[in-house]
A = this chain, B = another copy of it.
Amino acid sequence: MKSAEQLDLEDALAPLRKSYDLPDDQCYLDGNSLGALSHAVKASIQEVVHREWGETLIGGWNSHGWLELPMRVGDKLGALLGASPGETLCCDNLSINLFKGLAAALELQAPRTKIVTEASHFPTDNYIAQGMAQLLGPERCEVVAVPQEDLGTTDLREVAVVSLAHVDFRTGACRDIAGITARAHDAGALVLWDLAHSAGVINPALKDNDVDMAVGCTYKFLNGGPGAPGFLYVAERLHTAANPLPGWMGHADLFAFESSYRPAPGIRRFLTGTQSVISMAAVEAALTVFEDVSIEALRAKSLALSDYFLTLLHEQPDTQELLCLTPREHSKRGSQISLRMPMGYPISQALIARGIIVDFREPDIVRFGFSPLYNTFAEVRAAVAELADILRTECYREARYQHRLTVT
């Protein structure tokens, strides 16, 4: 096997790391939770705050194109997702966008009332669906949470919309968008994909896969900043649906201040009220780094990083018997590796104390995220070495043997 140094030398994306401000004393493997700060974003925020807001004040809405930011940044996001122009908005947060998408799906699919989700879906997705059901009542909306293993066999013939995550936040498993979407469509159901953990590292090919709707956030692999705005994709053919949160920014003539709502044509109808200019501009700047690389190259590097991680785990006597929740098959793997281990929480803290920044999810999962724009093979090697060293210490020793032979 090649050394980490050799792999980094041969990595065509390696120069992109210089676009980011990363702490010298850390291996930051948590870009699946909060992405890193780029120099482009720093410069953009300074420009938007000092020059645009500070100097042009109210004039910025027109002179700096603030009014068009949700659509302009949306289209740049859409380009990474395989959407056509005019199908994606950068706005609100994922939860709000999901509510808009589910309401639109229920309207389009009436009299169907069922939302199918996964029982282990990211909580906010299920909470929003539950909130929708509570608001609309059982005659208008019913949430069916299916165990993951039953998804392939659940009867979808009376289902309005299937609401799933592209990449599972716990396990890092990547779902078959093409297959599940086709199966839903065959049964007359729509699909709404949550791309939070895949946007920027995997191309969901929304148009080619005929996806109806999608939502996501921009603060993970897209590096938009803590709590950066979400996005909403709605296929053009569905732009007839109503927005349940029709704020003035989605009106056909927003400065006419009409007393009744008339939706704007196209994707703009799904806007709510005024959006944060600074936050959207930060996302736009964060996306400039993606202009120098294809999403396919990012996906290839992401898989190479996680392959290398798994290989090193397997080579190390201290780590080779850990339980890996993430599928080994490339097509089924996102951009993180989730290891399940007793004492996962103290082990994750020990890793962080040694500068290997990972995160922990209940009940016993340690997540290692690989951001192909800035992570290196040397960082992967360091992470495995530190994990092995921790597992060699007496107090964590038993964690090694709890789950055997599962990194295959």
Contact = CB atoms under 8 A, between A and B. Distances in A.
Interface in A3-39: 21, 23, 26, 28, 30, 33-34, 36-37
With a 10 A CB-CB cut-off, give which of A254, A257, A282, A357 has the most chain B CB atoms: A257
Interface in A119-137: 119-120, 122-124, 126-128, 130-132, 134-136
A131 B361 contact: no
B95 A248 contact: yes
A338 B352 CA distance: 58
A225 B258 contact: no
Contacts of A280: 227
Contacts of A92: 92-93, 96
Interface stretch (A41-49, A158-166, A180-188, A297-305): A41-49
A332 to B, nearest CB: 22
Contacts of A61: 34, 226
A58 B45 contact: no
Interface in A234-269: 242-249, 251, 254-261
Contact of A53 (B131, B225, B247, B362): B225
Interface string A201-239: 000000000000000010100000111111000000000
Interface string A56-82: 011111000010000000000000000
Given A23-B55, A45-B45, A228-B276, A362 B255 contact: yes
A99 interface: yes
B272 A58 contact: no
Number of copies: 2
B95 A272 contact: yes
With a 10 A CB-CB cut-off, give which of A225, A247, A254, A258 has the most chain B CB atoms: A247
A277 interface: yes
Interface residues of A, number: 87
Interface in A266-291: 272-280, 282
A397 interface: no
Contact of A219 (B130, B274, B359): B274
Contact of A259 (B28, B120, B257): B120
A92 B279 CA distance: 12
Contact of A276 (B52, B134, B227, B248): B227
B251 A135 contact: no
A407 interface: no
A103 interface: yes
Closest 10 CB pairs of A and B: A95-B273, A95-B247, A226-B277, A124-B248, A93-B273, A127-B261, A37-B54, A227-B276, A131-B246, A227-B277
26 contacts: A23-B55, A33-B58, A34-B57, A36-B57, A37-B49, A42-B54, A46-B46, A57-B357, A92-B93, A93-B274, A93-B275, A96-B247, A96-B272, A96-B273, A103-B135, A123-B251, A123-B257, A124-B247, A124-B248, A130-B261, A134-B242, A135-B135, A225-B276, A225-B277, A227-B274, A278-B278
Interface of A: 21, 23, 26, 28, 30, 33-34, 36-37, 41-42, 45-46, 49-50, 52-55, 57-61, 66, 92-96, 99, 103, 119-120, 122-124, 126-128, 130-132, 134-136, 145, 170, 217, 219, 225-230, 242-249, 251, 254-261, 272-280, 282, 357, 359, 361-362
